[in-house]
Amino acid sequence: MSSNQPVVYDDAIVKKFLGATLLWGVVGMLVGVILALQLAWWPANGDIPYITFGRLRPLHTNAVIFAFAGNAVFTAIYWSMQRLLKVRMWSDGLSNFHFWGWQAIIVSAAVTLPLGLTQAKEYAELIWPIDIAIAVVWVAFAINFFGTIHIRKIKHLYVAIWFYMSFVLTVPILHIVNNLSVPATLTRSYPIYTGMTDALVQWWYGHNAVAFFLTTPFLGLMYYFLPKAAERPVYSYRLSIIHFWALVCLYIWAGPHHLLYSALPDWAQTAGMVFSVMLIAPSWGGMLNGLLTLRGAWDRVRQDPILKFYVVGVSFYGMSTFEGPMMSIRAVNGLAHYTNWVVGHVHSGALGWNGMMTFGMIYWLVPRLWGRKMAKESWVGLHFWLATVGIIFYIIAMWAAGVTEGLMLRAIDPDSGLLLYTNFLDVVHTLDPFYWMRFGGGLMFLTGILMMFVNVFLTVRGSGEPFSAPAAAVPAAK
């Protein structure tokens, strides 16, 4: 630790994860658009076992969460933790093992899921040999992560690292507990839990996958990249302390909001609802800390597409963490559960928060990694608008569809006391226009990420003006 030579950061690993993020983002969202088409027009299932909705949907969720969002978070971690701690990653070997291991897991998911090899638990579909591989790769990543922290040259841990740490520690606990099962064959296994116990374990996992895979590491990303792009320090250090610890302690309780009105014991349902409602406070703490970091930089937001991505991303974070607690209230959930409203909520978080934050980060990183400005600078702004309008189409369609079906399915004729719409399919077809509208929105979002893919490809290939990073006016991570 004594030498004062400049540290040579490992940027090759960052480039790899960034490329993987783009590739799997395109694949996962393409599958999402196909699903959207299948719901609007059933013949798109094609009478082919491997591409029916039931087999493709897990491919979509696994690809966008674990491949797109996962690789995005790893990109953020490998770039920012080296710089925040002023050391190279502890082991290049482990970094590469992590990268290739993770991609191999994704490829095996993409092969097994269409074949119908699945555990049939939402977000935990991957079969047991792949689950073991995930645990092994994660341990390697964790050793490298804590090894790097151990040899750090900066004594204190910046807030982004706290959030990354909660991700590195919590995800394997959730993953292992939820996947404990007895193998029947090489490709099939059955959980050690049954019935409602299995349901509770699964949603404890499922909700906290949202919390510790799609939320906390992205907050870490926000705390590093947003101040960098805005060239301003984080608004409030104290707020970041409070909302970090509150998120860590509260989120873990919220799982039962996925099982309201079910046969789960009432005490567990109530705990899930109460903690979910409380979550609004630390969530908005994070959102405000992000948005207020831009105070005094609003003129730049108007010109800089990267900041625009962040503003929309953080705003959608605020919106979905307002909506989520509302949907956790039993009476509201009674309407929303099972409907497209939930799908709308999911994608305002997924497209709005995870998607936009990732895009902002990539446009900021590419010039710094490859030393060139984006080949097509004008496309960045276009991507921003396509993505934003696409999201708006998507979620408005799903809100409208969700409330419509929720109300129709519960409607009771006041005279007879019987159901108003007895044929389920009448309700299904009322949703047709909304499904087409969502397909349109999804297509726009996909077009946006495709443009980014091409743009990055051209930049890496060598088009684009030389780029040298401006000396940051305010070092964000002090």
414: contact with other proteins by CB under 8 A:
no
Identify the residue among 325, 344, 360, 402 touching ligand HEM (CB under 6 A).
325
The distance of closest approach from Cβ of residue 81 to other proteins in the complex, given in angstroms and rounded to an integer, is: 12
Helix (H) or strand (E) holding 66: none
Q: In DSSP terms, which residues pair with 191 in a beta bridge?
A: 181
56-72 burial, b if ≥16 CB within 10 A, otherwise e? Answer: bbbbbbbbbbbbbbbbb
363-381 burial, b if ≥16 CB within 10 A, otherwise e? Answer: bbbbbebbebbbbbeebbe
Helices (H), 86-194: 92-112, 128-150, 159-179
Task: Pick one of other proteins, ligand HEM, none as the site partner of residue 355 (Cβ within 5 to 8 A by kind).
Answer: ligand HEM
Which residue, 36 or 229, is less far from ligand HEM as judged by CB?
A: 36
Amino acid identity at 364? W
**Binding piece for ligand HEM, criterion CB under 6 A, among 82-90, 166-174, 223-231, 353-361:** 353-361
Q: In DSSP terms, which residues pair with 188 in a beta bridge?
A: 185
Residue with tokens 């959608």: 316
342: contact with ligand HEM by CB under 6 A:
yes
Nearest to 128 by CA among 137, 119, 136: 119
The tokens for 327 are 């949907």
Length in residues, the chain: 478
Which residue, 100 or 261, is less far from ligand HEM as judged by CB?
A: 261
> How far is Cα 269 from Cα 254, in angstroms, rounded to an integer?
9
Which residue, 290 or 325, is less far from ligand HEM as judged by CB?
A: 325
Helix (H) or strand (E) holding 359: helix 356-370
Helix (H) or strand (E) holding 288: helix 280-292
The distance of closest approach from Cβ of residue 456 to ligand HEM in the complex, given in angstroms and rounded to an integer, is: 17
269: contact with other proteins by CB under 8 A:
no
Task: Pick one of other proteins, ligand HEM, none as the site partner of residue 33 (Cβ within 5 to 8 A by kind).
Answer: ligand HEM
Task: Pick one of other proteins, ligand HEM, none as the site partner of residue 346 (Cβ within 5 to 8 A by kind).
Answer: ligand HEM
Which residue, 24 or 90, is less far from ligand HEM as judged by CB?
A: 24
3-state secondary structure of 120: coil
Site string for other proteins, 211-250 (x = CB under 8 A): ----------------------xxxxxx--x---x--xxx
Site string for ligand HEM, 194-233 (x = CB under 6 A): ----------------x---xx------------------
32: contact with ligand HEM by CB under 6 A:
yes
138 φ, ψ (degrees, to nearest 5): -65, -40
Site for ligand HEM in 250-279 (CB under 6 A): 254, 257-258, 276, 279
The distance of closest approach from Cβ of residue 184 to other proteins in the complex, given in angstroms and rounded to an integer, is: 4
**Binding piece for ligand HEM, criterion CB under 6 A, among 12-20, 25-33, 374-382, 419-427:** 25-33
> How far is Cα 378 from Cα 283, in angstroms, rounded to an integer?
34
Residue with tokens 């995800």: 171
Nearest to 23 by CA among 456, 460, 462, 386: 456
The distance of closest approach from Cβ of residue 95 to ligand HEM in the complex, given in angstroms and rounded to an integer, is: 24
- Whether 212 contacts 278, CB under 8 Å: no
The distance of closest approach from Cβ of residue 287 to ligand HEM in the complex, given in angstroms and rounded to an integer, is: 10
The distance of closest approach from Cβ of residue 178 to ligand HEM in the complex, given in angstroms and rounded to an integer, is: 14
Site string for ligand HEM, 369-408 (x = CB under 6 A): ----------------------------------------
Instruction: Please enumerate in sequence order all residues whose Cβ is within 8 A of that of 474, keeping only pairs 6 or more positions apart, or say none.
Output: 227, 231, 232, 233
The tokens for 469 are 């990073």
- Binding residues for ligand HEM, per CB under 6 A? 29, 32-33, 35-36, 39, 57, 60-61, 64-65, 68-69, 122, 210, 214-215, 254, 257-258, 276, 279, 283, 320-321, 324-325, 327-328, 333, 336-337, 342-343, 345-347, 349-351, 353-355, 442, 445-446
